Structure formats: structure tokens, C-alpha cells
Amino acid sequence: MAQNWHQVDVDRNLAALERAAGLEDLQAVIVDLCEAYRINHMVYHWVNSQGDQYGCGTYSPAWVARYIEKEYLRVDPVILGCNQRFHPVDWKRLDWSSKAARLFRSEAIEYGVGNQGFSIPMRGPNGQYALFTASHSCSDDEWQVFKNQHRRPLILLAHFFNQKALEFEPERVPEASRTLSPREVDAMTFLAMGYNRAKAADTMEISEHTLRVYIESARFKLGAVNTTHAVARAMSRGLIVV
Amino acid sequence: MAQNWHQVDVDRNLAALERAAGLEDLQAVIVDLCEAYRINHMVYHWVNSQGDQYGCGTYSPAWVARYIEKEYLRVDPVILGCNQRFHPVDWKRLDWSSKAARLFRSEAIEYGVGNQGFSIPMRGPNGQYALFTASHSCSDDEWQVFKNQHRRPLILLAHFFNQKALEFEPERVPEASRTLSPREVDAMTFLAMGYNRAKAADTMEISEHTLRVYIESARFKLGAVNTTHAVARAMSRGLIVV
DNA sequence: AAACAACTCCCCAGAAATAGCGAGGCCGCT
DNA sequence: AGCGGCCTCGCTATTTCTGGGGAGTTGTTT
């Protein structure tokens, strides 16, 4: 069977990660981690649905630039595959059947990305989505041993990388808003579920007029200009669970 | 300082968890975990976007029944607080200021829930959301020691519980609606920002008629009955970020 | 006791969203 | 070369929502 991989002091890595105070620190940590784990690449990659992305890692700047320029975000089977999964995934198990995907892969390898890869999706509030990836060039057997040995600490690393990334995001400051009253919460919830006012009022066993008062007052408290806006704000502030 | 908590064989727990083949196994694992960690309660709690919920854990059936019957999902500060967070959270740091929340808390304690708690939010594809919680009755100092000692393995446990739950209940994950097209994402985003159709169309530099087509097609893809519903679903599935 | 927040009900006119029909051009994939 | 997805534009009628008013009860907090 294949080699045994280097033993890694997981606690030390995690402690360094938790001390990090900015993206540069994360970059330093990730370089250290690569050396500690004796693999070619590690990458933390934040993706949002608007197509913005950033992160840190050891891929060559040329590859990163090309990835962004070519909008490989929309092609990369790692991104697309992890989008519908929770569990970490080996690159081999993704769907490489399309022509675009195979082209992407061979190009990635040209730019120094490993032939093996293991990616862990992480998701935060409001649809935040990020990947933590370990990549290396080696045989399938060797890679299998690596995964077995390090899968769990890698999950923890992914978790803490994402935690740090969220901390560093300025716009994620929890904006304090007056809490909604219970009936207002109900009203927002039913509207978010697609009920129209008649049905929501019926469900809440109040008149539609009364319901409107709740919607209006919730809208006012949330600083929203219309019902849809109010529901969106209530959701993104975590005031309702839908 | 407080006692030192029992040493736990993390790898053995995780291995048992990974062998689990059904919800009953998860229940058995969680009972074992409680004993191993010497705490009163552990709970895995899946919260569905429709307000359905299920899970496993050691809370008394009476409390679980009451929780569901009273729809405490919409009151529970743990659920609401974790909704906006990524990192694990101590119950003390949540918002207990509302009257409903304080009532909920005292009732929970009556039903045997611990005065201390530590909850780890987990998120899967399409807005799946679950909590893994450890709860105990003890002093703040003791709980602090427990958290410091076991935080990381608890995160791993949360991860694997959620992984298993997703394996067992694939039909509960909201179906992967075909992803919205870029223009549909734009439309949903502007509506979530409170723009009316005229302003959204203006911002997107298209006619209002065209905008309506996007709204309609997004609504169809999302299985939503109206615009507000569509925006809410797009948000809870992480298709738009506002 | 007074103030305040929450809950309930009511009217009306104008603005906005929805449901139902169209149309054509562009692009990528098979 | 055809299929499907996406982007763009149009019409009409009906339903629903919004933004102004107002008023009374309960309960908690100061």
C-alpha cells in the first residue's frame, strides 16, 4: 500500500487559524498548512451567487487570474458539484462528462493544480457559500490514504476558515433592529410562505384589515418600502424562519 | 476553577456515527454521546424551510411534543439566533430579551432542558438548516471548561450528524430547482431590495414587460405562488444575497 | 395612574401585481 | 439543423396590495 502521510499537529494549526486577524493571516496559515500536510495546494474559496469571489490559497496567481477572467466559476465541476452536496467530495467523483469540464481540468493541471483534489463545501447564513480544497499530484492510492488520514481535521479547518472569512466580512455586521411582535412575525412568515393577505388573515384568524396593520408596522420597523422588501429583511435578519 | 470534564474517545464516536444506517442508529449514537460526555442532553434538530422539523436527541418526549405543538420553532432564540450565524453559539449569548423568549426558556428548563447550551448550526444545499446542540445543567464556569475542551469534536459531530441526516432523508432537501438565470437572479435581488417593478426594470435597463417575464419564470422555477414567495424561496435557498 | 406597546376592527381610492394571450432573436449543445 | 434556454418586447382584464385616514381593548411598565 501507499506511503503513510506526515503526522500533523492539528491543534497547532487550528490555534494559528483562530488567532488570524485578516485575510493575510489566513494566507500565511494556508501556506503553513500545505507544508505541514506535504501537499501541493490548499485553497479557501468564497463564492457568492452574484458571481463575486475571493479567497486565499496556493494556486498560482496566473491560474487565479485565468479562472476569474474566463468565469470558470460557471464551469468548474467542483463548484457546481459541491453546490448540491453537503459532504466533502473527491474530485474524481464529480461530473467531468461535459467537454467544457474536461477542458477546464486539463487546463487547471497545466497551471499546476493537482490531479487529485478533495473539496469541502461550507455554508453560512444568507446563502453564503465557500469551498475549502486540498489538492495534490499523486496516485489514487496515495490520495486515498491521505484522505483517510486527514479528512476530519480538514473539515475542522474548513469550518474555521469559513468562520474567519465571515468575521472579516464588513457587511456581515448584525444590524440591530427592533424585534417584531409575535403577530408581526406570524404575518411575515405567512407572507414568506406565499399566502396572500386573505389566506394569511384567515390562517391567523383575524380580519384582513388587522393583518394589514401588522404588515405595515413590521414594514415600518424593518425600514422596508414594501411587503416583499419587509419579508426579505425579516429573513436576512433571521427574524423569521421559512 | 471548575472540574475537568471526562476524556472522550472522539474517534470511536465518529466511527459509530459513520456506521449509522438510519435515524434509529443516530438516536443510539446520541444517547451514547451524552453518557460519554457526561452531559444531560444532546440533540440534532433539522429545521425545514416549510416549518417541518425532526431530529433525534435526548430531550423528553413531552418537551418535544410541546415544542412542536406550540410552534416554538418561531420563538426559540436558539433557532432564530443561529439563523444569522455561522459559528457555534453559547445560549447565553443569544437574545433572550423578549418576553416570549424568557417564557420559553423557563418552560424548557421545567421540562428538563439544561440551563446551559451550545448549539452548532449546519447548512446543506438549497437552504437546508439544522442544529446540533449540547445542553447541561451546571454553572457558567463549568460550562466554559466543557466548551473549551470539546468544542472541536462537537463541530465534527455536528457535521457528521448532518451528513447522515441528509443521506437518510434526501426527499426532505428542497428539490434543486434549476438554478435561476443571471437576469432572474438580478430581478429577484432587486425585488428583495424593495424595488418595485418599474424601478427594477429601469435599473436593469429593460422594459417592465421583460422584467415580468423574469419574475414569472423565476417564480415558476422556484415553485412559488407569488413574488414575495419567490423572493423568500430564492433567499432561503441561497440563490440571492441581500 | 399614566404611558406605551400590542392586538383587534373599519372605509376608500389609487397603485401595483397577476393571469392570460402573443412575438422574435441569440446562443450553445447534439 | 433543430432543440431548448435565455433575453427582449407587446396587449388586456382582473385581482390584490398600498397608503391615507380612524377607534377601542388589553396588558405591561414606569
Q: Which conformational region is residue B176 in: left (phi greater than 0), alpha (psi within -120 to 50 degrees), or beta? A: beta
A to B CB pairs, distance under 8 Å = 138
At the topology level of CATH, where does A10-170 sit? Beta-Lactamase (3.30.450)
Q: Where in the sequence of chain A do the CATH 3.30.450.80 domains occur?
A: 10-170
d(CA B238, CA B242): 10
pLDDT in tens, A26-51: 999 999 999 999 999 999 999 876 66
In chain B, positions 176-215, which contact chain A (CB-CB < 8 Å)?
A: 176, 182, 185, 189, 191-194, 196
Contacts of B219 in chain A (CB under 8 A): none
Of B41-45, B121-125, B217-221, the range with the lowest mean pLDDT is B217-221
Helix and strand tally (H, E) in chain A?
Answer: 10, 5
At the topology level of CATH, where does B182-236 sit? Arc Repressor Mutant, subunit A (1.10.10)
Q: Where in the sequence of chain B do the CATH 3.30.450.80 domains occur?
A: 10-172
Q: Where in the sequence of chain A do the CATH 1.10.10.10 domains occur?
A: 182-236
What pLDDT is stored for residue B207 in this prediction?
87
What pLDDT is stored for residue A224 in this prediction?
87
Q: CA torsion sign, A180 to A184 to A186 to A190? A: negative
Stated in angstroms, how far is A175 CA from C15 C1'?
32
pLDDT in tens, A2-25: 456 667 788 888 899 999 999 899
Nearest nucleotide to B187 (CA to C1') is D7
DSSP string, A139-194: -HHHHHHHHHHHHHHHHHHHHHHHHHHHHH-GGG-----PPPPHHHHHHHHHHHTT
What pLDDT is stored for residue B117 in this prediction?
97
pLDDT in tens, B176-198: 656 788 888 888 999 999 898 88
CATH architecture of the domain covering B10-172: 2-Layer Sandwich (3.30)
Report DSSP state, residue A74: G
What is the side-by-side strand order in the sheet with A53-57? A53-57, A41-47, A129-136, A116-123, A89-90
Q: Which of B10, B223, B5 is closest to B126 using CA atoms? A: B223
Longest dimension (CA), chain B: 68
3 state DSSP class of B41: strand
Q: What residues have CB less than 8 Å from A212, skipping those under 6 apart?
A: A197
pLDDT in tens, A52-72: 788 999 999 999 998 888 888
Give B133's strand partners. B43, B119
Measured CA angle at A125 (ends A182, A181), to 5 deg? 10
DSSP string, B59-97: S-HHHHHHHHHTTGGGT-HHHHHHHT-SS-EEGGGS---
What pLDDT is stored for residue A4 in this prediction?
67
Residue lying closest to nucleotide D28, CA to C1': B99
- A148 touches B at CB < 8 Å: no
pLDDT in tens, A94-131: 888 777 888 899 899 999 999 999 999 999 887 788 99
Distance from CA of B163 to the nearest CA of A (A): 6
d(CA B240, CA B179): 11
Contact across the interface for B192 and A232, Cβ inside 8 Å: yes
Single-letter amino acid, residue B75 = V
Distance from CA of A142 to the nearest CA of B (A): 22
pLDDT band with cut points at 50, 70 and 90 for residue A171:
low
